Each structure stands twice: as C-alpha cells, then as structure tokens.
Amino acid sequence: MSALAPLLTSRWGNERAWTLDAYQRTGGYQALREALRMEPAEVLNTVKDSGLRGRGGAGFPTGVKWSFLPPPDGGPRYLVVNADESEPGTCKDIPLMMADPHSLIEGIIITSYAIGCHHAFIYLRGEVVHVYRRLLNAVTEARRAGLLGSSVMGSGYELELTVHAGAGAYICGEETALLDSLEGRRGQPRLKPPFPAVAGLYARPTVVNNVESIASVPWIIAGGADWWKSMGTEKSTGVGIYSLSGHVVRPGQYEAPLGITMRELLELAGGVRAGHRLKFWMPGGSSTPMFTPEHLDVPLDYDSVVAAGSMLGTRALQCFDETVCVVWAVSRWMDFYAHESCGKCTPCREGTFWLRSVLRRIEAGLGRPEDMQILQDIPNSIVGRAFCPLGDGAPSSLTSSLKFFYDEYVQHIQLGGCPFDHKASYLFEAVTA
C-alpha cells in the first residue's frame, strides 16, 4: 500500500476549483442528489456502516455520533462544523476550504438532511480571512443555485447555512467552547454532561464535526459504505489527508488510505532535506507525543499509533532533522500552550505557565538540576487533572521528548546554554535585525 488516493484533494489543482461551476463539472453535488432520494435514516446508516471516524483528532465514529441525537421533538437541531483549525502543524481543513469549499457544503447539506437539521453553521478560525471569503462566496453560489434555502434541489428540504468567523482562540476548537463562542459568549469548555448531542448550540441537540469528516460524506454516499471500507484498515476506514511539514523536500498535503506509514509518506515527499537525517517527528500535531525514526513503519491509523504510544490526531506530520534542538522546539510549543490556555482550569493555566517559565530558563542557560524533576512532575499535574482534552494534550511534546532526548535537556543545564546552532535548522534565510 503506497499509492496516493486523492479524493478530498482531487479537485484542488483544477482551474478555479473553488467555484460552483468547476465543482459541478467534476461531479459535484451528485452525491447530494442521491442522498435526497434516500431516507435520512438510510443516509445516516450508510455513514455509520462506512466506519468513518472523526478527522478532527479524537477519531470517534461519525455516524455513531449522529445517532446520539435524541428523537426529533419538533424543535431545532443543529450541525456545527468545526473549522477552527489552530493546532501547530495542522494544515488540512484550511486548504480544503480554500480550494474546494463546495465539497464541504455538499457534505453539510447531506449531513444536515441525515440528522434533521435545518440550520447548519461553519465555525471558522478567524485569522484565515481569505478562506472566510471563499466560504461566504461558495454559500452565496449554493444558495443562488437552489442548493441551500427553502427547498434544497427542489426537494422541499429546507436548510440555512451560516459561516461564522471566530476571534482566534485555540480553545474554540474544543467543541463545547466552540458552541459557547458561536453563541456569542467567552469561549471556554462547558461542563459535560449534558453533551452537545443532547444540549449543544442554544441548548438544542447538536452535532459537531470536523471539516474533513463532513467533506468525506459525499464520497461515502456516492461510492457506498463498502467502497469506503475497502480503503484504509479494518478499524480506520477510508482515506485521510496527511500534512507533511518541516525538514522534508516537498512539504504539503498527501491524501492516502489510513494506515500508510511515515516511511512511505516521506518517500512521496522526497525525503528529509538533502544531507540531513530525521531526528523526531510529530504524528498528529503538537499535542501528540513525538515519534523518532524508529517509528517510521508504524501504520498511521488510529489504533496503531495509539499502540505505539502516540495519537493519530490531525495527521499533521511535522518533521525535524538533526539540526533541531528538541528543547528549543518543545519550548516554542509550550509558549503556544501557555498563550492559548483558556484559563478556565488550574492545571492547564498554571501548569503551562510554569513549564514555559522553566523551559525558557533552561534555554537561556539558567537551568538547574532540580528542573529535570519539575519537567517530569508538572505534566503529571496537568494530564488527567485538566478540564478538557486540550489541557491533557498540552505537555505531550515535552513528556515524549524527555523519553527520547532526556540527555539533551541535561546537556543544556550542564552547559549553561544551548549546544545547537539554531540557524542550521532554518529553512529560510535568517533575518537579523
């Protein structure tokens, strides 16, 4: 298994791929036509049968999530698409929405039809203004074409779609914080239960799904559950977008069946930059434990990665060669988590603040031997103590780096500074003021 399987990314290179015309010329909205001929329950069951798992990181079966909605009671129920892609290294939803927004909209219409939703939302990371414009345009096009509005494709099924730009907070990628933010409140995670399926947006039954999950739905409807299951592994079906970044020759999005290995992906991407070798890599974004070259043959599906000690996350494969100081890299990530901690719970708020303080001190050559104990203890004070999973993920890079590169930390402390030449790792000319 080594071939790429471009589905979600198949249109990205087309001429003006983001327009309705271009989308429809390549079979766009055919799956929707098919879905509208089916009963909603049939659509739901097809997605359930396909084994599609959430592409936002947690990997929960998408169809099962839909089926958690209580039976209709006459009141509104909502679909909210989580497009708040903010994890360092993660870069799949934004190019998808940029290049092929209609595939997401088609997925939203089909999903809304399946779950009985008449008003769907896309919660978009606010910084990506260009994507926001693309989405707004695409929604306008779809509405004009009768794909949204009072009668979708003349079927009598009614759907409104609202695109909402967030204000730039990592926490708003957490589904309940996202819902609070969408309601106009401060984005902080909610106490569960009640879960969004029971009381989500405006306290009504709500499905929150990742962009890539929803964009996969038209493919599943068009090709059928069995076809989808024929790709990937038994428990991680279908294809997914792998985003390679860092010290690789051809960084970018590679769409492949789940279960492909890093070794295969690296080959496709032209390998690590010339003259260098891989030191460590992140399998699923900066909140998943790091891997080393010894993990190159781990199948990149949900369960194999967990078995190997990390998480598939968002398949954001960041590659670092031997020029990179792991303390430096981890310290930058900790800056991110300290800055993005929402502040609601003590462990994440104070723990990331403390870890950032210690890591910066070690980097600056002011580390002390007792800091090594603190670096090992504080992650334990955060993981399993924090309010939401984002806190649990915050120290992953640190903990795993200590597992593989403990000596590098000790070296910083003993030397009173960093033994690496940071400029050697730059992929671009260093700018000196």
Partner 1 sequence: MSTPDLVACTIDGIEIEVPKDTLIIRAAEEAGIMIPRFCDHPLLKPVAACRQCLVDVASPAGPEGKLRAFPKPQPACAISVTPGMVVNTQLSSEAAKNAQEQVAELILINHPLDCPICDKGGECPLQNQAMSTGRSVSRFEDKKNTFPKPLALTPQILLDRERCVLCQRCVRFAAQIPGDPFIALQKRGANQQIGRFDPSVLGVAETAGQLADQTAGDIPAICGEPFAGYFAGNIIQICPVGALTSAAYRFRARPFDLVSTETVAEHDSNGSAIRVDYRRGTVLRRLAGDDPSLNQEWISDKDRFAFRWQAAPDRLERPLVRQGDQLVEVSWPEGIRAAVEIFDSATNPAVLPGGRLTLEDAYAYSVFARTVLGTDSVDFRARPSSHEEAQFLAHFVAGAGLGVSLDDLAQAPAVLLAGFEPEDEGGIIFLRLREADTKVYSVAPFASRGLRRLGGKLLRALPGGEASALDALSSAADGPRAEAAAALKGGVIVVGERLASSPGAYTAALAAADRLGARLVWIPRRAGERAAVEAGLLPGLAPAGRSLDALADDVAETVFGGPMGLTPGLDLPGIIAAAQAGSVDAVLMGGLELADLPDPRAASAALNTAKVVALQVRGDSISPWADVILPVAPPQEKAGTFINWEGRLRPFPQVLTSTALSDARVLQVLADQLGFESRIGELATSHQVFGWLGKPSARRAAPAVAPRAPRPLGAGQAVLSTWRYQVDDSAALDGEPYLAASAPAPVARISAVTARAVGVRQGDYLNVSTSGGTITLPVAIDDLPEGVVHLPAKSPGSWTLVTLTATDGDLVGISAAHGPKEVAR
Task: Choose which of 233, 261, 352, 399 interacts with partner 1 (CB under 8 A).
Answer: 352
Please report whether residue 171 would count as binding partner 1 according to CB under 8 A.
yes
Phi, psi of 55, deg, nearest 5 = -95, 5
Whether 257 and 239 have beta carbons less than 8 Å apart is answered as: yes
Q: How far apart are CA 206 and CA 179, in angstroms?
A: 9
Cβ pair 325, 353 in contact under 8 A = no
User: Which of these, 382, 375, 387, 395, lies nearest to 350 by C-alpha position?
Assistant: 382
Q: Of the ranges 123-131, 325-333, 377-385, 399-407, which one interacts with partner 1 (CB under 8 A)? A: 377-385
346 binds partner 1 (CB under 8 A): yes
Stretch touching partner 1 by CB under 8 A, among 19-27, 51-59, 302-310, 380-388: 380-388
Question: Interface with partner 1 includes 370 (CB under 8 A)?
Answer: yes
Least gap, CB of 344 to partner 1 (angstroms)? 5
Question: Which residues from 173-232 bind partner 1, rule CB under 8 A?
Answer: 186, 188, 191
Backbone torsions φ then ψ of 210, nearest 5 degrees: -75, 155
Please state the length of the chain: 433
Of these, 156, 384, 428, 432, which contacts partner 1 (CB under 8 A)?
384
3-class DSSP assignment, residue 406: helix
- Which amino acid is located at 325 in the chain? C
Closest to partner 1 by CB, 7 or 345: 345
The single residue among 66, 219, 354, 405 that binds partner 1, judged by CB under 8 A, is 354
Residue closer to partner 1, measured from CB, 186 or 423: 186
In angstroms, the CA 134 to CA 126 distance is 13
- Residue choice 342, 375, 398, 413 for contact with partner 1 (CB under 8 A): 342
Residue 252: in which H helix or E strand, if any?
Answer: strand 252-257
CB closer to partner 1, 171 vs 418? 171
- Binder to partner 1 among 6, 332, 385, 404 (CB under 8 A)? 385
Rg (CA), the chain: 22
Q: Is 169 in the site for partner 1 (CB under 8 A)?
A: yes
Which H or E run contains 362?
Answer: helix 346-363
Span interacting with partner 1, options 75-83, 312-320, 335-343, 425-433, rule CB under 8 A: 335-343
Give the other-Cβ count within 10 Å of 74's Cβ: 4
Is the CB of 207 or the CB of 386 nearer to partner 1? 386
Kindly state whether residue 23 participates in binding partner 1, applying the rule CB under 8 A. no
Show the site string, 73-112: x = touches partner 1 by CB under 8 A, - = not: ----------------------------------------
Cα 144 to Cα 101, 120, 132, 152: the distances in Å are 15, 17, 18, 11
CB 267 within 8 A of CB 294: no
Tokens of 405: 């590169």
Interacting residues with partner 1 (CB under 8 A): 169, 171, 186, 188, 191, 338-347, 349-354, 357-358, 361, 370, 374, 377-378, 380-381, 384-387
